[in-house]
Amino acid sequence: MSGAGVAAAADGGLRCSWALSTDDYLQYHDTEWGRPVHGDDALFERLCLEAFQSGLSWLTILRRREGFRSAFAGFKISAVAEFTDADKERLLADAGIIRNRAKIEATLANAKVLAGWRDGELDALIWSYAPDPATRPAPRTPGDVPAVTPESTALAKDLKKRGVRFVGPTTAYALMQACGLVDDHMADCVARGTTA
């Protein structure tokens, strides 16, 4: 997310400046970004969407999220794990999602891997990499927000070791931000501290 620090929204409240570029971003910022996400299927969805976002604007993904949910059976791991080659071809023809063969194949392969995990294992694994909030000062400018951290690097390495594809340290950190493992709202943002 880019921009300079915080800016006043129409309601007068200060928000992370990136959130003010579109109504879609403002809604996402105020109601979702940085709020804790739990549950294997919910985290699988975020993991998949962050991977699809790689190299693209998050806004592109956000505006197609319902299309993704429809195409990928609501990101229910057990359902996506049963997808066939015919499903893959259907996805490659679906204009409601990002039709990137490598990302689609990784999503299907990841579902097959995760379907073999115990209930709650993905949730527990991801959250085990949440850093201690006391060690992370509130960012004042976008420059204070890292793209990669030791925790995101370790999470990506652990997921890869367990067979999960298309999740590098940058994607893992974006996941950590989006799912509330870290609070990267700017120090003066009205949403700061509401995410825990």
By annotation, the residues acting in catalysis are: 28, 50, 58
**Cβ–Cβ under 8 Å, residues 14 and 189:** yes
Q: Which amino acid makes up residue 113?
A: V
Q: Is 21 exposed, middle or buried (0-12, 13-18, 19+ CB in 10 A)?
A: middle
Length of the chain: 196
Q: Is 66 exposed, middle or buried (0-12, 13-18, 19+ CB in 10 A)?
A: exposed
Q: Which amino acid makes up residue 50?
A: E
Listed in sequence order, the DSSP H helices in 58-149 are: 58-62, 65-71, 77-80, 85-92, 101-115, 121-127
Q: Report the C-alpha gap between 24 and 27 in whole angstroms.
A: 5
**Cβ–Cβ under 8 Å, residues 53 and 60:** yes
Q: Report the C-alpha gap between 76 and 60 in whole angstroms.
A: 22
List the structure tokens of 107.
């999503």
